[in-house]
Amino acid sequence: MSAIEVHIENSGDAQRLLQTLPSEMFEQVQQVLMNGAIRVAERARELVPVRTGHLLASIRPEIEDAQDSEEAFSPIRVVADAEYASFVEFGTSRMEAEPFMQPAIDEIEPEIMEEVDAILADLGLVPGVEEP
């Protein structure tokens, strides 16, 4: 089985910083990340080449409960689990790549980071970023 999976992960320092946030802001950041995964999945579905619709239908966000994980944040993934998803994304020796997941990530990631920066700016944790 071939699948594409996108992980939104935090480095150790960033994760420790976010764990020190007041619970309301921590939840806001978690919500931004969950909404970001939903937007990435939506954009990937817009970009994916469609022949039968199977690959399109396999693209979705997966958001696990943090209580079921050792992670501070709920694990968030955007998956395309059609058996040939990686062949379409990266190509093969016989077919050109038709990326859909990476372009979606590249497009949505800056928006997600702006939203996280705005939350952190409210606490004065992001120098040079002013509140809107």
Residue 130 has pLDDT above 60, yes or no: no
φ and ψ at residue 20, rounded to 5 degrees: -85, -5
In this structure, the number of other CB atoms found within 10 A of the CB of residue 108 comes to 21
Kindly list the domain boundaries of the chain, sorted by start residue: 4-9+22-122
* Mean pLDDT taken over the chain: 81
Two tokens at 3? Answer: 């699948």
Q: Report the length, in residues, of the chain.
A: 132
Residue 64 has pLDDT above 70, yes or no: yes
Amino acid at 40: V
Mean of pLDDT values over 58-68:
78
The residues, any chain, with a CB within 8 Å of residue 128's CB and separated by 6 or more, are none
Pseudo-torsion of CA 115, 116, 122, 126, nearest 10°? Answer: -120
Residue 77 has pLDDT above 80, yes or no: yes
Of the two residues 50 and 124, the one the predictor is more confident about is 50
Express each pLDDT in 78-108 by its tens digit. 999 999 999 999 999 999 999 999 999 999 9
